[in-house]
Amino acid sequence: DWTMAAFRAEAIARIRAQVGTGKVICGLSGGVDSSVAAVLIHEAIGDQLTCIYVDHGLMRGGETEQVVSTFRDRFNIKLVHRDASDLFLGQLAGTTDPEVKRKTIGRLFIEVFEEEQAKLGGADFLAQGTLYPDVIESVSATGGPSVTIKSHHNVGGLPEHMRMQLVEPLRDLFKDEVRALGRELGMPEAIVGRHPFPGPGLAIRIPGEVTREKVQILQKADAIFLGEIRSAGLYDAIWQAFAVLLPVRTVGVMGDGRTYDQACALRAVTSTDGMTADVYPFEVAFLSRVANRIVNEVRGINRVAYDVTSKPPGTIEWE
């Protein structure tokens, strides 16, 4: 792509001019934006960049390993992987209010990030994968929940005392342009084409209290759903798809016995920007296949429902 090749060259020149011989730290989330920003900055300044991946233990199954190996092994980027799952799950114990869950995760995220950054001896610049829509939303009075939604890791999310200069090479781009840039940089489709994933991760897909056991159950159901979506060739036609573990137990039958286990909901939507969304119209046969697999393969779930609510009035996430 000619445009992206030109953008890439210009962006690299701009990053070099801004950073000079300074040290840059980048918070990696595993999402498209921070990943593309990191690879682009690495191409510009190499080992002057260190990425910090704060692992809250609330990622999809296997995703942390994929992110870590992609950045370390494939791109040779210096990466600190801090497993903070005990801390996050410990502090989330007993918490059921969605906003408190979000705030707890946001606060811990910053605390852990700061700790890791201090261990590295600080830096001159902080890199962020801020996109054009993030810039607009953060100054728009009508941005609605997205202003707070992204508060903990996007525009203006960091406290005053982390007063580093920002490096934001994607500020002029929309999501589809970031994906095109990622492809231009040779990044794997698994990262570049990945669905958006919320900062608080699976915590907001487990209404009620989050426990490690529930996270593991949800990861299994979610992996089955996403695996079936991929095999059916539907992944790219969907904006986001995921499972939600409900705090509801229902009665079922399995063999000769009665079960009394948790229910799960599946959610899949189409959207162009996440501000509005429509339900993805799967065939019932597809949904039954997924439901059968989940109930048969995931211990702890005995019922599956499909969420057909559009946004508005629903939100994409359940919390």
Considering the complex, state which of residue 250 and residue 315 has its C-beta at the smaller distance from ligand XMP.
315
Residue type, 16: R
For residues 22 and 208, which CB has a smaller minimum distance to ligand XMP in the complex? 208
DSSP string, 76-89: --EEEEEE-HHHHH
Contact positions with ligand XMP (CB under 6 A) in 259-278: 274
**170 close to 33: Cβ distance less than 8 angstroms:** yes
Q: Is the dihedral of CA 99, 102, 104, 110 positive or negative?
A: negative
Report the distance separating Cα 30 and Cα 54, nearest Å. Answer: 10
Query: For the residues of 236-269, what is the DSSP string, one character each?
Result: GG-SEEEEEEEEEEEEEEETTEEEEEEEEEEEEE
Site for ligand XMP in 128-147 (CB under 6 A): 145
Q: How far apart are CA 84 and CA 114, in angstroms?
A: 13
For residue 265, the minimal CB distance to ligand XMP (Å) is 14
Torsion angle of alpha carbons 212, 214, 220, 222, nearest 10°? -120
Question: Is 23 one of the binding residues for ligand XMP (CB under 6 A)?
Answer: no
| 7-15, 185-193, 216-224, 311-319 -> range binding ligand XMP (CB under 6 A) | 311-319
Minimum CB distance to ligand XMP, residue 319 (Å):
8
Query: How many residues contact ligand XMP, by CB under 6 A?
Result: 14
173 in contact with ligand XMP (CB under 6 A): no
The rounded distance, in Å, linking the Cα atoms of 162 and 117 is 10
- Binder to ligand XMP among 128, 240, 262, 302 (CB under 6 A)? 240
149 scored as a contact of ligand XMP (CB under 6 A):
yes
Nearest-angstrom CA–CA distance, 129 and 149: 15
DSSP output for 27-42: EE-SSHHHHHHHHHHH
Gap between the Cα atoms of 288 and 294, Å rounded = 10
* Minimum CB distance to ligand XMP, residue 138 (Å): 13
The correct pick among 82, 103, 183, 311 for binding ligand XMP (CB under 6 A) is: 311
| Chosen residue from 122, 156, 196, 227 binding ligand XMP by CB under 6 A | 196
Nearer to ligand XMP, 44 or 84 (CB): 84
Cβ 39 to ligand XMP, closest distance in Å?
A: 20
Query: Which H/E stretch holds residue 5?
Result: helix 2-19
Near ligand XMP by CB under 6 A: residue from 60, 150, 205, 303: 150
Q: According to the binding rule CB under 6 A, does residue 201 interact with ligand XMP?
A: no
Task: Answer yes or no whether residue 95 interacts with ligand XMP by CB under 6 A.
Answer: no
27 lies in the site for ligand XMP, by CB under 6 A? no
Residues that bind ligand XMP (CB under 6 A): 102, 145, 149-150, 196, 198-200, 240, 274, 311, 315-317
